[in-house]
Amino acid sequence: MEPEVQVLRAAGGFGRARRLLAAASWLPCVVLGLALGSEPLLTALPGHHCRPDPSLLPPALRALSGSALLDASVPRLGPARGRSPCLLLRYSEPTPRATPNGTRSCTRGWHYALPAAGLLRSPVTEWNLVCEDGWKVPLEQMSHLLGWLLGCVILGMACDWFGRRVVFLASLVLATGLGAGEVLAASFPALLALRLLHGGALAGASLALYVARLELCDPPHRLVFSMGAGLFSVVGTLLLPGLALLAQDWRLLQGLSALATGLLLLFWGFPALFPESPCWLLATGQLGQARKILWHFAEASGVDPENSPEEESSLVTELDVLSAGSPQPQHHWVLELWHTRVTWRNGLILGFSSLVGGGIRASFLQRLAPRESAFYGPYFLRAGLEVAATVFLLLTVDRWGRRLVLLLSTLVVGLASLLLLSGVQYLPGWTLLSLSVLGLLASQAVSILSSLFGAEIFPTVISRGRGLPQSLEDSDRLRRSPLLRGRLCQDHLPLLPPSYCQAQTQLFQDG
């Protein structure tokens, strides 16, 4: 990555323009947090029971109303004697003193305890996704997660092929259209397909924005700006229940989310707020476009692009070095990572740690809120612990390092889960609660840090992971600059043999 480092340093480093753009990239995270946080609200399961059907009751009981009718129609189950959510009482004999001798399924629909998660109407209540159709709720959740996964894979590769800006804007267009399509969904299968595609579009927008922000920042500032974006995303998540209370209808809520995404496209569609990543342009050989962006960075940072101190090269010189030989734009395939075993092995390890951190989170949440009707407690607790995990990473990662904090957080997750599994019957309630909160906090930290760590170890463009051959190619370009030739062998001594450096130096001295 030496050519990119030198060019960005000559363009003013992490100066005023890059700082403002990196900070501006926080604001779209609020809208993306709103869109991504809607899934728990749409699938919240309200308390419910069967509507009484007087035609199934004996003649003497058909005139009942209110709670008496419910007692005669809906059975009570369990130690708490709660009303059954899916059954009605069955009477075999139509005599005045007939007693129930069994149960049967609901015949007239359900009565819901509303509002559920602030909504008077949701997909669950509109299409009665309860009891026999209750399996459709996890199906919808899995569809959204599958869309997110496919969006990360497909649109992630598109980021390397077409650029961060193109994928970000295309994903916003898709997310706006698909969000509006959900408002008009006439059936549950239509909503299922739209949620699948919508999850993929949101994944593409989030991923492109995350990578572009990371490439705008230099290594000392990556953690701060990445964690700042995470906090803004939590702000969007916290605003969503209030927006649901105002909307009270899931279609209106989705419409407002689509409108916010469209406004985001309207403002962040301008190149001034979201330019293409100069690192990606340099790595793919698109030097003409990179020159315009870097020239703006240099001027905004108070650096003269054409002149520089004697110990450093100017931006013009650095770009001329990269332009030597008229390089053509190059795009590469993700399978080229196979040539760098260290990179893909680290990627597998970080992917597995992220999978563990995200997968075990549901178990900790279930222990904190065992009742299905609970919504606000787990929702705000998860958001609060994400803020706590972000602050913890801000205080420790730059001091202790990515690897140590990741190992420590993974160890805490494992210990908390093992203690909960082995001591659930013996430990007091406050201990189980503390372990669940600690495990949830550590799992949040593992997920956040795995994403940051993974983005830093992977190359800007996949082909750069081929290692030594590509590094030598870049070094050959640097050798053509008289200003950089003197420090070339010192910078690349681990890659180049001493005899090669001596021969190049002698050729330069001989003219």
User: pLDDT-based confidence at 344, cuts 50/70/90?
Assistant: confident
Q: Which residue has the higher pLDDT, 417 or 202?
A: 202
Percent of the chain whose predicted confidence (pLDDT) is above 90: 34
167 contacts: CB under 8 Å, gap ≥ 6: 155, 158, 159, 204, 207, 208
Instruction: Report the pLDDT value the prediction gives residue 324, as an integer from 0 to 100.
Output: 63
Q: Is the separation of the CB atoms in 385 and 441 below 8 Å?
A: yes
Answer yes or no: is pLDDT of 181 > 60: yes
Tell me the mean pLDDT in the region 483-497. 41
Region class of 427: left (phi > 0), else alpha (psi between -120 and 50), else beta: beta
Percent of the chain whose predicted confidence (pLDDT) is above 70: 80
Q: Which residue has the higher pLDDT, 239 or 485?
A: 239
Q: List pLDDT tens digits, range 374-414.
A: 788 888 988 999 999 999 999 999 899 888 999 999 999 98
Question: What sign has the CA pseudo-torsion 254, 255, 260, 261?
Answer: positive
User: pLDDT-based confidence at 369, cuts 50/70/90?
Assistant: low
Q: Is the separation of the CB atoms in 12 and 300 below 8 Å?
A: yes
Nearest-10 Cα torsion for 262, 266, 281, 324: 160
User: pLDDT-based confidence at 1, cuts 50/70/90?
Assistant: low
Neighbours of 96 (CB within 10 A): 9
Q: Which amino acid is located at 309 in the chain?
A: P
User: pLDDT-based confidence at 246, cuts 50/70/90?
Assistant: very high
In angstroms, the CA 496 to CA 489 distance is 7
Exposure b/e, 255-289, CB count within 10 A at least 16 = b: bbbbebbbebbeebeeeeebbbbbbbbbbbbbbeb
Most confident of 24-33, 111-120, 290-299, 346-355: 24-33
Question: Six-digit token pair at 102?
Answer: 């069994």
Q: Which amino acid is located at 58 in the chain?
A: P
Q: List pLDDT tens digits, range 127-173.
A: 999 989 999 999 999 999 999 999 988 998 888 889 899 999 999 99
Q: List pLDDT tens digits, range 437-475.
A: 899 999 999 999 988 888 888 777 643 223 233 333 333
Nearest-5° Cα angle at 180, 234 to 213: 40
Average pLDDT of every residue of the chain: 81
Instruction: Report the pLDDT value the prediction gives residue 292, as an integer from 0 to 100.
Output: 86
In angstroms, the CA 176 to CA 181 distance is 9
Instruction: Report the pLDDT value the prediction gives residue 94, as an integer from 0 to 100.
Output: 61
Q: List pLDDT tens digits, range 75-113.
A: 888 777 788 888 888 887 666 566 777 888 888 889 898
